[in-house]
Amino acid sequence: MYDYMKALQRQFETKPRSIQELADEISQAHKELSSRLTKEDQRLLLRLVDMEDNMRGVATLHSFVCGYRLACGIHKELAEEPTYSFAKEEEERARQSTRSQHEGGAGDGSQIKE
């Protein structure tokens, strides 16, 4: 499922130009900072950048999966016959609540007819 969602994400994902511009700025700043650091500090910086990139990728995929699930839920709801109605659901809950209250009080000798 995970691979399938990643494939779907690649197919439908679009990157705005502003993201590419930011990526270019980040890359330039990384190169500039890297040239000022010792080899050990460069390795640490590279580890940090890799971890942030991995975290960003996981968060992006998670966001895509959530959006996909939402879209599937909306599609399912729209495809239902009859269509879903929040008002009808609330009305049915109220009826059931009233019935359960009446049935609970019926043991004291009084009967309530609907």
pLDDT of residue 78: 81
pLDDT tens for the chain, 114 residues long, are: 778 788 888 887 777 778 888 889 988 998 899 889 999 999 998 999 899 999 999 999 999 999 999 999 888 888 877 777 888 889 999 999 999 888 876 545 455 444
Helix-strand-coil split of the chain, %, nearest 5? 85, 0, 15
CB 5 within 8 A of CB 61: yes
Q: Using a CB cutoff of 8 Å and minimum separation of 24, what contacts does 103-107 make? A: none
Q: Is 22 exposed, middle or buried (0-12, 13-18, 19+ CB in 10 A)?
A: exposed
Rounded Cα distance, 42 and 49, in Å: 10
Q: Provide the residue type at 77 as one letter.
A: E
pTM (whole model) above 0.85: no
- Under DSSP, the state recorded for 84 is P
pLDDT of residue 114: 45
pLDDT of residue 106: 54
